[in-house]
Structure 1
Amino acid sequence: MKVSEIEARLSSLKAQKASKVKEVRALAMADDSDTTDVQKGVASVDDLQKQIDDLQARLDAVKKAQGLSDDKPDDAEPTDKKGNNNMQIDPNKKQETTEVRDFIHYLKTAEKRANGVTTTEAGVVIPKEILDIQKVPTDVRNLSAVINRVSVTSGMGTLPVLQKNTARLTTAEERAENPEIANAVLKGVDYKALTYRGALPLSMEMVQDAPNLKTLLNTYVQEAKELTEQYQIGKILQTATAVSANTTDDLKTAFNKGLANYDRQWIVTESFYNAVDLLKDANGRYLLQDSIASASGKSLFGSNVLIVADDVLGVDGDAKAFVGDPKAFVLEAMRSDVAVEWDHNENFERILAVALRADFKAADTNAGKFITYGVPAGK
């Protein structure tokens, strides 16, 4: 199997796992759920993870084999014929820094070398060579790809946000009659980076034996970051102006009025999507239309539809939706330092704890509405 084929299969498995995790989490939270079904769901997640781990190991082995050298190991210092380390280093070959080596040493031994690792109150900071937390989201199914993400260098501060401009140009005569011209409103949004923590289910023994520790850590933290962002962004979207809708006309009114100056789109729960997917207009046409530009493949009243799990915007079974401009409405202040720390679990085993620092705020609160949809009886 080629590297590209392995990577494609790996990507598909990860997507399946993410979808299954959401399904099992929702099942576990449901009041009428069967514990047997939950156990089967967890087993399915574990099986997918095993497939991912096996495939990742194969991919790592192939890539390592492709990079093997005939005369020296990859991490050897370049030397001349006499064995002196004075040969010119290939500028195109990525060199592992002291910070990275000492960080890996910490992961395998829990020993913090005084000058080799950076620490904060949250733990040991992951070097940027291993993890780039500021990578622009590319998966348009994630909410982090449709909001305003700003990298900040301090734990707290104020970010300026330009509100939607309502000023109009006037003639000289109009200015003479009314010299007070509306100015663009620059709003300051205060942020304070909070620490979100999670536990990486790896023991120190597993870390010591991991074939590609950097890839493993990067994958886990990126997935944890995406899930953290998804639910925190969902909380902010729920603060938009509340609207109740029981009919198609109610939905149209919410979409049509008050948002004309914004780039409108729909962010909907699965239950909302299912309810609206059954609706037809007066001519018998379904409200949801096909759209190749939308992540879901559908549009509603001409605007793209993005579907999230019910519990991102409420609880299981909620038919909820945000309509408006999420990029104008939500501001994420993201700190680039992500830390790890060895901790003990309930079994007194050493597990790796991960901490992310970010804050999520409503910026332009006029940029959206939060709809609760409920179909009246008999409809």
Structure 2
Amino acid sequence: MNLQEKLKELRQKIEEKSNSIKTSNAEFREMLEKANSEEELTAAKDKRSEIEKVEGEVRKLEEEADLIQVAIDGDDNSKPAGSRNKDNQEASYRDAVNAYIHSRGRVRDGLNFEKTNVGDFVMLNKRDIDPGTDGVKKPDVQPTIADEVSYQPQRELQTIVDLKQFVNVFQAQHGKGTYPILKNATSTMATVAELEKNPAMAKPDFDGVDWAVDTYRQALPISQESLDDSEIDLMPVIEQNGQQIKVNTTNAAIAGVIKTFAAKTVGTIDDLKHIINVDLDPAYDRVMIVSQTFYNWLDTVKDGNGRYLLQDSILTPSGKVLLGMPVAVVADTDLGKANEAHAFIGDIKRSVLFANRADFMVRWVDNEIYGQYLQAGMRFGVAKADTKAGYFLTYTEPAEK
């Protein structure tokens, strides 16, 4: 067997073992994914050891093939120099460069080197090389360039404030009903002389708020193949998305009630102070739920000394206060349209009644589709409670004086 035949046989062995490594790697990954016990994990480790052993055999075969290739290239370059013409000399030099590369720098015969401060480099004739056409560019080696893929999704940033935390939530036991709201007492005691009969005390006055529960639900089929083959645990991602949809649903219902309160237009902080000091009864608590555009106006307002009125606070859930009131920010579209400045100001717990009947997230296997269903659902009702407890504001930039 000559060198050419031996080299061909080695290349064939290398290819066969490389293909077996690919198959074994796929089996190893499947074993690792399905390993649920110590024995199965040990079997996967043994499989990996077998793969590493074959990889070592491939490396040895490649080194042997490189040595044979060097020997073959050396035979091609052993012709007498005097019998070569100019073309043969250039071909010989290319062969010498090829032998140098394949031997990883061990074979240096027939080459000219240039010494530099960072090492020795093979000298090539660059006069006939056009970098624009002969150079290697990224498209030329595109099959060897891997695209990095991240399998961990990042949720898009969005303003999501759960408005349910601000309103009056109670656990409903039926599908509809009436919730009593005690009105503020306005009467006073009468002056009574000694030993006179006590006058009758004013009776408590109640308002009945009618509420009714609606059902909100949806389901999403997920194939078992997508759950099995995904690089991440897919179900928690889908469940998290379902939870966000539920918050969006309750927010939309609460915002729909907020927008029905008495409307007022403000253009200055003085207009806002008039609502706080005069229009709202002092007995009511004060909270502001503002859109992004309304918040932008509040964030730019200064007092007479040039200090911003909107302040940081660690005592409020939102972290911001204005004139002593907690401020919560929602998206413009929650209270209106994009770039519209709206807000609710007042006692939101007395303003909005939230009857919570049921809240569930269910998943089950369906044999017909070979997959799972994720169902999210809620049963709740939202009603307007105390009509005097708040106002729906719209900011309008005042005309220049």
TM-score normalised per structure 1: 0.54
Residue matched to 2:267: 246
For the structure 1 residues 209 and 49, does the alpha-carbon distance in structure 2 shift closer, same or farther, using more than 3 Å as the test?
Answer: closer
Q: Which of the two has higher C-alpha Rg?
A: 2
| Superposed displacement of residue 198, structure 1 | 3.7
Alpha-carbon separation, structure 1, partners of 2:324 and 2:389:
18
For the structure 1 residues 206 and 241, does the alpha-carbon distance in structure 2 shift closer, same or farther, using more than 3 Å as the test?
Answer: same
Q: Which moved more, 1:161-170 or 1:286-295?
A: 161-170
Matched positions, count:
241
Amino acid at match of 1:252: K
Residue matched to 2:335: 313
Root-mean-square deviation over aligned CA pairs: 3.7
Amino acid at match of 2:276: F
| Superposed displacement of residue 280, structure 1 | 1.8
For the structure 1 residues 222 and 276, does the alpha-carbon distance in structure 2 shift closer, same or farther, using more than 3 Å as the test?
Answer: same
- For the 8 Å contact 2:291–2:329, the answer to whether it is kept is yes
- For the 8 Å contact 1:141–1:295, the answer to whether it is kept is no
Matches within 5 A, 1:1-379: 50-51=153-154, 141-172=161-192, 179=199, 181-200=201-220, 202-203=222-223, 205-206=225-226, 219-257=240-278, 258-336=280-358, 338=360, 352-378=374-400
**3-state SS in 2 of match to 1:271:** helix
- For the 8 Å contact 2:218–2:375, the answer to whether it is kept is yes
Indicate the structure with greater helix content.
2
**3-state SS in 1 of match to 2:153:** helix
Q: Deviations over 1:303-341 (max 9, x none)?
A: 111111111111111111111111111111111253769
Residue matched to 1:126: none
Listed as ranges, the gaps of 5+ residues in structure 1 are 1-46, 53-139, 343-348
Amino acid at match of 1:326: I
Q: Which moved more, 1:280-289 or 1:246-255?
A: 280-289
Q: Which has the higher contact order (CA 8 A, sep 6+)?
A: 1
Alpha-carbon separation, structure 2, partners of 1:208 and 1:185:
62
Alpha-carbon separation, structure 2, partners of 1:333 and 1:242:
25
Alpha-carbon separation, structure 1, partners of 2:291 and 2:277:
20
TM-score normalised per structure 2: 0.52
- For the 8 Å contact 1:166–1:184, the answer to whether it is kept is no
Alpha-carbon separation, structure 1, partners of 2:289 and 2:381:
21
Amino acid at match of 2:217: R
Amino acid at match of 1:312: D
**3-state SS in 2 of match to 1:275:** helix
Alpha-carbon separation, structure 1, partners of 2:151 and 2:191:
66
Amino acid at match of 1:162: L
Listed as ranges, the gaps of 5+ residues in structure 2 are 1-149, 365-370
| Superposed displacement of residue 205, structure 1 | 4.9
Amino acid at match of 1:246: G
For the structure 1 residues 171 and 334, does the alpha-carbon distance in structure 2 shift closer, same or farther, using more than 3 Å as the test?
Answer: same
| Superposed displacement of residue 152, structure 1 | 1.0
**3-state SS in 1 of match to 2:337:** coil
Q: Deviations over 1:241-268 (max 9, x none)?
A: 1111122211111121223111111111
- For the 8 Å contact 2:173–2:357, the answer to whether it is kept is yes
Alpha-carbon separation, structure 2, partners of 1:171 and 1:292:
47
Alpha-carbon separation, structure 1, partners of 2:381 and 2:219:
20
Alpha-carbon separation, structure 1, partners of 2:382 and 2:218:
18
